[in-house]
A and B are shown apart, each in its own frame.
Chain A
């Protein structure tokens, strides 16, 4: 199992150069069974990352480009009258895939956004009165532009909370960009990429993540972190219980990726920025810049022992 995880990391890193930390986080997010939000400027490799993940994990992939005129039915699917059979026939929307890339989610209206987010939460969709299960596993990777770009509808806090992690890929490092420019187009590598996992193996990995050990001492640290967000004055609000559960789940996946069967505080610290920064906001910050600075404060000041 470890070999599979290492191999998949290696494959993804081949495609996405110089982003080892983010790639590892993204993989941790998926094997922890969470949805991923990537926030970046256009052209940073968000789509590439999603496609690579889909391929490596052996998942069927669909991409939905969110635009301001996107309707919920464009995501979920619709019934069409079939003249031949004389019945309405349901045409599945793009959401019926194992890995859905919701591109530029903040360009769509809140109505369309919530259609997707409901599907994420429930694992099923209700269309025209009929409940239809989504495939299993089901992952959503949503991308969004930084919220202060014009013409966007920022996701409200309640919806942000549904993403296990938020990542930002950022500009590639000098050497990586050079390699990118010199080498062949990354997208073309994709079709040649072999799937590392099949469904059964993916399920096994997910089960293994849940079995990673979390001791009392570690839970105490997590609680100290969470309580700090709730008590310290600079936090506009604290982490929700869902947030603390997400933190532990992500730390488990991270520990497994590091080849451990138990979580150490460093695992928590590694995933904390990705898990917590979109759930926190500084009191003084009215522009909604997010809680990156707060997370740094947590990492430095909350005692580990």
Chain B
């Protein structure tokens, strides 16, 4: 069985379309491989080349496997698997002789589509994926032959079928029970992600501030808090080695001290972009009901598995809760840790301040005042610092980014004997006027300080606010000086052109769409499903799928088969039953035999039932041909009489008597 031309062509088109989103993820030599295989296949079809022999095919399989192995860097992750699937998809092209081969290729194609979704399921690519899917379906239709060899009809038919499948697919999407992963699979995409890292040198956050990439989106139930309250905590940095800040060992793994909610909470939902890190983003003091999430010692929310796909979770935050009214000795020690040597000027200044302001609150206020009054500058391009980086920044260059201010302040507080730590996360966000949600980007990354006070627990303080209040109130773009253009590294980012009103509207609309997509489609998992179904259907949720599913299939059946087109009226149906009954007794009606004549013949052959047969036939004829009101029930009764009168006969008689 040969592969029909329409089927083959659509298969090749579908393959080309399928591979487009994958080229960004796969080793480039696969592209070359694809070109060779496709060209070869086309030449085979045009009878300019021969199908490669078994030996050559085996060689190519081995070659492809080896190439995948080497280009994957010898680690087996998703990319390796994807490269293998795609390589198989391409190689099968050379062995495309029968319809069976074409089917293998088609099914591999469906798999490739899944792989593409695993890499990127954002709205544009999801919309795009309709194209390869339609092409593959058109290939299926084309494989059946029929409709001539033209390319248009299979595609039109495939599109029609796809449209008809949409209602049921939507229903399944909403109602089919989502379950937790059956087993854990690392989705090690190996991509470098932009975002906060575990270890922070003062300049790192400044680098991050050049990136307009999306970090997460938040939508509040009810009115959102003021902008200057939006401090999104990621994690804390507690160990300082004289140059860089790192996370403390305790806060990472130990569970948090139990705390009681106080006051009014903020309720909100977060859709977080993949970070490949375990922490989530939330306002203080947060609690999330999302599965698999716990709060550690430093009040961060942390997941067991890294966030490797867009993650949707809801959070409640109580801003008035007092954190750690008592500080454990180990924790206290960790938050007073300083390198043994270095930064002598800062240490001296701090002990001097501690003497002048014995109250820690007064000390903090004095420090902030110094930041505010003296000649400190908020800048993305801090000067290079020598070995004593804190001293260099605080006393000499005085230009820096949030991490510089926070780092110096934490150092000073610790040197003054007050437990303190640096908090890293994001601050602010852009409110989308249409969607009532905040978009937080990488350039919103921020660092601030927490110090501990007996009885009042941890208190947050932001030195950046003292230096550049615009950064907190309006955002980074406004805080930067005229000589430092915003998003210098991303000349094409639409965010750079926020001054153009129409462009900005367009951008916000597009973001809104993406937000809806992530929230309602990509984020639609177990938690959201049960919440939604419960809200819509209350206790009837489990009946929704069977009922609506049956209904949809029924409607679909009606629409496709249109049974009313060939309706058999109920009177006629009774006659057909009559015919079947007599069929058991060896009487079959030829298509051209009239009902009356048939009944006459039957009555002669079955004299015992003649009376009943006549009665039935006359009633039927009158109802069907004399315009009498249709009374199928009467006919059914009379048919029963016939059946009863026939019941006495000994066994069905297959043939008429000679």
Contacts and interface: CB of A to CB of B under 8 A. Distances in A.
Physical interaction between A and B: yes
Interface of A: 213, 215, 217-218, 260-266, 269, 298-305
B626 A262 contact: yes
B355 interface: no
Given A264-B596, A305-B576, 5 more contacts: A260-B626, A265-B594, A269-B592, A303-B592, A305-B575
Contacts, number: 53
A265 B597 CA distance: 9
A51 B298 CA distance: 123
B594 A264 contact: yes
B223 interface: no
Nearest to A218: B625
B592 A266 contact: no
Contact of A302 (B591, B596, B627): B591
A301 B592 contact: yes
B435 to A, nearest CB: 60
A252 to B, nearest CB: 12
Contacts of A261: 626
B591 A303 contact: yes
Interface centre among B572, B593, B597, B621, by most chain A C-beta atoms within 10 angstroms, is: B593
B595 interface: yes
B624 A217 contact: yes
Interface residues of B, number: 17
Contacts of B593: 304
Contacts of B625: 213, 215, 217-218, 262-265
Residue of A213, A218, A304 most packed against chain B (CB within 10 A): A304
B595 A305 contact: yes
A298 B576 CA distance: 21
B32 interface: no
B627 A301 contact: no
Interface in B560-603: 572, 575-576, 590-597
A304 B627 contact: no
A218 B576 CA distance: 17
A264 B623 CA distance: 11
Contacts of A265: 594-596, 625
A304 B594 CA distance: 6
Contact of B592 (A213, A218, A299): A299
Contacts of B627: 213, 215, 262
Contact of B597 (A213, A217, A263, A266): A266
A301 B592 CA distance: 5
A230 B575 CA distance: 29
30 contacts: A213-B625, A213-B627, A215-B624, A215-B626, A217-B572, A218-B625, A260-B626, A261-B626, A262-B625, A262-B626, A262-B627, A263-B625, A264-B595, A264-B625, A265-B594, A265-B596, A265-B625, A266-B594, A266-B597, A269-B597, A298-B592, A300-B590, A302-B592, A303-B592, A304-B591, A304-B592, A304-B593, A304-B595, A305-B572, A305-B595
A149 to B, nearest CB: 33
Q: In the complex, which of the residues A218, A264, A299 has the most CB atoms of chain B within 10 Å of its own CB atom? A: A264
A301 to B, nearest CB: 6
A301 B593 CA distance: 9
A110 B627 CA distance: 46
Q: Which of A261, A266, A269 has the most CB of B within 10 A?
A: A266
Nearest to A297: B592
A301 B591 contact: yes
Contacts of A300: 590-592
A213 B626 CA distance: 6
Contacts of A304: 591-595
Contacts of A266: 594, 596-597
Contacts of A305: 572, 575-576, 595
Interface in B597-624: 597, 621-622, 624
B134 to A, nearest CB: 38
A299 B591 CA distance: 9
Contacts of A303: 591-592
Nearest to B593: A304
A213 B590 CA distance: 26
A299 B594 CA distance: 9
B473 to A, nearest CB: 81
Closest 9 CB pairs of A and B: A262-B626, A265-B594, A266-B594, A303-B591, A300-B592, A264-B625, A266-B596, A217-B624, A299-B592
A15 to B, nearest CB: 30
B151 to A, nearest CB: 33
A264 B591 CA distance: 15
A298 B572 CA distance: 22
Nearest to B571: A217
Contacts of B591: 300-304
